[in-house]
């Protein structure tokens, strides 16, 4: 954990749950955990319901993606302003599942990040290498390249967040070693400071990729790890809150 940065535990609910299930889950995490910021990112159809349930509580709400345009003929897409309008304060961008399933490259993520910032949302930009890239010794250069291509100027001063999610660890139950996580987070911090200056020392850097209650405490204690982006475990309130309680405060 970076000294002086309040931990953030963010839950990515992905494409799961009915409106009723989303409301129950939101109610179960509403009171949050003292000393830790919590964020949940439900599917688009559930955003308003979850925002209403969480209104006045300790847990913030975010979207899982947004379009680069403010409005227009983009069937099936959602703008950053629409997310704000239904209560979102954050948005996940460039998740590996979006990069893979929708062929999103760094340029597309950059455009979406600019749109999120313009709408007053806090972007959580995801970066991470494939297993082949890690085995080839390219993990750090891949992450640096994604940061360079996906993060615009103004990101740091607006409170933008970066999440490191090794592609091969997402949803697999596998995680990098603690040394590997620490090395990538140090690389991200260095890259951001080199580009944006000392202000980037306060940028939150999250780890994501099979985070669960059993491994959260040592991961969240690592240098430059300022929280977690949680997938499957965020769908179980007890597990999500247990991860939050594992954060050093």
Which positions make up the binding site for substrate?
Answer: 12-14, 171, 210, 231-232
* SS3 label, residue 10: strand
Assess whether 165 carries a catalytic annotation.
yes
Annotated binding site: 12-14, 171, 210, 231-232
- Whether 129 sits among the annotated catalytic residues: the reply is no
Catalytic pick among 46, 90, 95, 185: 95
Chain centroid to Cα 133, Å, comes to 22
Q: Indicate the SS3 state at residue 125.
A: strand
Q: In whole angstroms, what is the distance from residue 248 CA to residue 6 CA?
A: 9
Q: How far is CA 34 from CA 25, 30, 218, 245, 246, in A?
A: 19, 12, 19, 8, 12
- From the candidates 104, 140, 165, 224, which is the catalytic residue? 165
Q: How far is CA 77 from CA 95, 105, 218, in A?
A: 16, 17, 38
CA distance linking residue 210 with residue 80, whole number of Å: 28
Residues noted as catalytic: 95, 165
């Amino acid at each position: 954990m970076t000294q002086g940065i309040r931990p953030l535990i963010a839950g990515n609910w992905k494409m799961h749950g009915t409106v009723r299930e989303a409301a129950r889950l939101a109610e179960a995490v509403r009171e949050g955990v003292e000393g830790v910021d919590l964020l949940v990112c439900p599917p688009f159809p559930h955003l308003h319901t979850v925002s209403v349930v969480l209104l006045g509580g300790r847990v913030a709400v975010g979207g899982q993606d947004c379009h680069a345009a403010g409005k227009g003929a983009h069937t099936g897409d959602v703008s950053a302003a629409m997310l704000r309008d239904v209560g979102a304060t954050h948005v996940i961008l460039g998740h590996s599942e979006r990069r893979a399933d929708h062929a999103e490259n760094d340029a597309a993520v950059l455009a979406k990040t600019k749109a999120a910032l313009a709408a007053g949302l806090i972007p959580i930009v995801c970066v991470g290498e494939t297993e082949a890239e890690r085995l080839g010794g390219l993990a750090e250069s891949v992450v640096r390249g994604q940061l360079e291509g996906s993060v615009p100027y103004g990101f740091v001063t607006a409170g933008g967040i970066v999440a490191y999610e090794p592609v091969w660890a997402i949803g697999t139950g596998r995680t990098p070693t603690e040394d590997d996580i620490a090395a990538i987070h140090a690389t991200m911090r260095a890259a951001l400071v080199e580009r944006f200056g000392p202000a980037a020392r306060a940028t939150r850097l999250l780890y994501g990729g099979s985070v669960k209650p059993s491994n959260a405490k040592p991961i969240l204690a690592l240098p430059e790890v300022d929280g977690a982006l949680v997938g499957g475990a965020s769908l179980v309130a007890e597990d999500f809150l247990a991860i939050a309680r594992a954060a050093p405060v």
